[in-house]
Structures are given as structure tokens and as C-alpha cells.
Structure 1
Amino acid sequence: MDVDPLLTQARQLWIELAGAPVAFPTRGVAVVASAESSTCPPGWVGIVALGDAAICTVPTDDLVGVVTRACHMLPVAALTDPERLAAVLPVTQVLGPATLAYCDDHSYRPQRRQPIEQLPVHHPDLVDFLASVPAEDAAECGLTDITSAAYVLRAGTAIVAAAGYRHWPRRVAHLSVLTAPSRRGRGLARAVAGAATADSLADGLVPQWRARPAASRRVARALGFRELGAQLSVRVGGSDQTRLGPGSNTTAP
């Protein structure tokens, strides 16, 4: 049986983020207690399904048995469906689900050349662009957290679309994309995200696209990203929510 190298690399990333010894089973789900999990907010349950298997982190040992029994009642594809999971677990809050998609040199689709400019993340023009969009969009896109250059398109002197990526463990490049609301639907997200993706591939990284909106997923597919699974974070019972970790959504075209 051929091994999908992208699936293998994606699983290695999320195993590391789990923060405790765990592995994706051949099929089904593996549950582990991990107070240090970065797959979800602290105190939450984090589920990552990739291919035909999933891993799940829970904040305390006493939840391992409960969550394991609940997860075994569902097929892997349903573990990141909030409604179906809530039917077997006392879910009180939900983050996600988000689709996880990955790209490599073979699947990437180069984009038509456009006058894309590279800027440092703290460049005043990029700061102005983020201030010009709705606050929710600016926070969701994750552009303030990128560790690459920002790849931008302008209309006149104003930036109207930007993309970049943050270096994650296992040489993964986590993409962030944002287009001005009035300019969406014109291929701008695809252009800037394509530039960021090409740059990450040239550096030997594995681009990751994490998204909930259908429009964002369409952009990823147009660039050659393959959807390999999904991620869901849930709060069970009275577990405490604190700040978000890498499980938070950071892709908005």
C-alpha cells in the first residue's frame, strides 16, 4: 500500500502538537490526556482527523475513558462534526470545525504573474490595511503572526490583499490570507496566497491551509491544496477556557 507523504507529514505535525505520546491508529481514534496540548485551547478537548484515523487530546486523565467511549460510537469522519459529537458527549462550546489542507511541489498550481510586492509584517502599509478591514477579519486572518514576508497586492497605493505564513513545527508553513471585503471574488486571495505558497515550497516547507469558510477552501483547492482532514475543539462539561493556541483559526481569504 502506497504511503501518502503529505498525510504522513501532516500527522507528524499534529502528533507533536498533541504534547503527549500518541499516534494515529491504522483506523479509528486514539485518545490521550495532555494538559500541554496545542491542538486546542487549554482545558478543552481537541480532535484532529486525518485520513482514516484521528487523535484526540483531553485535559485530564479522568476524561480519557469517557471521551474514548464516546468517540468509538462514531465513524472517524463524524468526530469533527459538532452536532454528531454533541450527541455522544456533553459539549458546551465549540471551535471549528476547520478543514486541514496541504500542498507539495507536485500538487501546487502556479498562478498567473501579478505585481506582487513583499513587505515586512510590521510595514506601515500593512498595518493600515489590517486597520481598514473589520476587526473580526483582521483578528481571524492571523497576518500579524506570520514569520515570513507579507505578499501584497495594491490598488493604487493601498494594499487590497495580503498573505504570508507562520513557521510551525515539522517544517510546516501555516498560511494566512486576507482580502479587503470590497475586493473579494476577483482572484486576489489566490494570487497572494499562491506567492506565499510558492515561497514556502522553495524553502522546503509543507504549506498548511486551515479554513472554515467555503470561499477560503475554494482558494486552497485552486492552488492545489488537498483536503486531508479536519480539526475540532470542544469544551466538555465545566472545563475552563483560556487563551487560544495553534488550534485557533488563522485563514481568511
Structure 2
Amino acid sequence: MSMDPSLVGRARALWEGLARVPVSFAPAGGVSVVVSPRSELCPVGWVGVVALGGSAIVTAPSDRAAVMVRDALGRLPLEAVTDGGLVRKALPVARVLGPAALSYVSPSGFRPVEAGALSVERIPAAHPDMRSLERVAGHEDAGEAALDEITSPAFVVREHGEVVAAAGYRAWPRRTAHIGVLTAPEARGRGLARVTGSAAVAHALGAGLLPQWRARRTASRVVAAGLGFEELGSQLSIEIA
């Protein structure tokens, strides 16, 4: 399937800016490695890799790390540079975060989901019921969704008065809306993530923002695809041993 060039261009501009030093995705493919101690592609002191639309950019925290990474990743095919298992074989790796799929949607590609009999409520992001949902969902899932960081309203579904699913987005640079979705364990598998996620995406598109869906798990990627998101690439963070 061909990728939407306007989505690829906007997504690349976002991550090029997050690198915090001048760097560009090579138009003909390949991997561009730069030194950027302040990079926001990854945790501080780590190596950040983002592949989008057939090429990749990489930020390294030091000149020494950049040389190691440039040599190691240069020997890998492009589709392998965000593969944690293959990168571990090429580099002395202490820890890896990801890979996470990066997906985006345009207004014309968005496939909204009707709530049907469900009622989607809009509440403040700081509402105590949001923290209750995070406790029920558990630390790992709540951290992945990062609903405590959203700058939009929260779009929620309740059952018996309790919030069992919620979605929202955090405003990122380049007019990007980073979507987060969370469902209580006992309420999963019933389409609630699509319903609340749809409301959050519609709100972002209405504000003229570019919705971004970052997902490590297959279930989350399926939800994004159901809403019309195009998977354009992936992200990996590497701590060099």
C-alpha cells in the first residue's frame, strides 16, 4: 500500500524537529546519524532511531556513540534498524525501548466510530476518575497511554458510574496530537478503545492537528488501523552498554 506523501512529510518534519539538531530523512532512503545530547527521540543519554517512509534518522548522545551506531546500523537493511532483536546483535546494548509503530491519519482517511448505545462523556484531563482508571489498568498500561500528560479533554465511557475507557491527546510540536487510549482490563475486547479513541481523534482533527498513534502492542495497532491510521514507520530507543 502506498503511503500518503503529505502525512509522511508532516510526520518527518515532527521527528526532525525533535532531534534538536539539523537532520533530515534521506529522500532516497538510508540512515542519517547525528550527535544530539538533547534529542527527544529517546531518553537522555540513549540512541534514538525513527524510521519513516523508507528512510531513518538516528540521534546519538556522543561522537563515540555516533561512530558505533553509524557503523553498526549501516550494515543492516533499513527495515531492521528498528528491530530490537537485530540491533542487539549489531551493537552492545544494555536496554531497549520499543519498537513502537508510528501511525498517522488525515481528515479524509479518518474512519470515525459511532458510539451507538454508549455515551461518550467529556471530562477534564485532571479529573480524579481518570486517576482511578489508571490504578485499575495498572502501572504498565497506564504509562503506555500516558493520559496523565494529555492537554486535551478526556473522552470517557462509564459503566455503573466508573470510567472504564478513556482517550485524549497531548499537544506535540508541529501541531501534532499524540493520542493516548486506556481501557480497564475487565472492559477490553468490546470496542471501547475505538469509541473513545475516535472521539479524541475527531477533536484533534477539528483543531487542525495531525493525530499520531504510537503503539507497541498489536491490539493497539489494530485499533489505530480501524480508525483509518496509516502505519508509516517505527521508533526504537537504545541504551548502549
**TM bracket (short chain):** over 0.9
1:12 paired residue number: 13
> Does the CA-based 8 Å contact 2:94-2:239 persist in structure 1?
yes
**SS of aligned partner of 1:185:** coil
2:175 paired residue number: 171
Task: Return the letter of the residue paired with 1:235.
Answer: E
> Does the CA-based 8 Å contact 2:152-2:170 persist in structure 1?
yes
**SS of aligned partner of 1:87:** helix
In the alignment, structure 1 segments of 5+ residues that lack a partner are: 238-253
2:105 paired residue number: 103
The runs of at least 4 aligned residues of structure 1 exceeding 4 Å deviation read none
Task: Return the letter of the residue paired with 2:96.
Answer: V
2:166 paired residue number: 162
In the alignment, structure 2 segments of 5+ residues that lack a partner are: none
**Residue deviations 1:34-80 (CA, integer Å, cap 9, x gap):** 00000001111100000110000000012222211111101111000
Shift of 1:159: 0.7
Shift of 1:95: 0.5
The structure-2 alpha-carbon separation of the partners of 1:62 and 1:135, relative to structure 1 and needing over 3 Å to count, comes to closer
2:204 paired residue number: 200
Task: Return the letter of the residue paired with 2:62.
Answer: T
Q: Whole-Å Cα distance in 1 between the matches of residues 4 and 207 of structure 2?
A: 23
**Residue deviations 1:128-168 (CA, integer Å, cap 9, x gap):** 22233222222221000000000000112111100000000
1:122 paired residue number: 126
Q: Whole-Å Cα distance in 1 between the matches of residues 47 and 142 of structure 2?
A: 26
Q: Whole-Å Cα distance in 1 between the matches of residues 39 and 157 of structure 2?
A: 37
**SS of aligned partner of 1:93:** strand
Task: Return the letter of the residue paired with 2:232.
Answer: L
Task: Return the letter of the residue paired with 1:230.
Answer: S
Q: Whole-Å Cα distance in 2 between the matches of residues 133 and 66 of structure 1?
A: 39
1:218 paired residue number: 222
2:40 paired residue number: 38
**SS of aligned partner of 2:90:** coil
TM-score, normalised relative to structure 2: 0.95
Please say if 1:139 is aligned against 2:135: no
Q: Whole-Å Cα distance in 2 between the matches of residues 139 and 67 of structure 1?
A: 28
1:57 paired residue number: 59
Q: Whole-Å Cα distance in 2 between the matches of residues 47 and 129 of structure 1?
A: 32
Shift of 1:3: 7.0
Q: Whole-Å Cα distance in 1 between the matches of residues 239 and 140 of structure 2?
A: 22
**Residue deviations 1:100-131 (CA, integer Å, cap 9, x gap):** 00011111001113410000011122222223
Task: Return the letter of the residue paired with 1:108.
Answer: F
> Does the CA-based 8 Å contact 2:26-2:55 persist in structure 1?
yes
Among 61, 84, 87, the residue aligned to 1:85: 87
> Does the CA-based 8 Å contact 2:136-2:185 persist in structure 1?
no
The structure-2 alpha-carbon separation of the partners of 1:9 and 1:119, relative to structure 1 and needing over 3 Å to count, comes to same
TM-score, normalised relative to structure 1: 0.91
1:69 paired residue number: 71
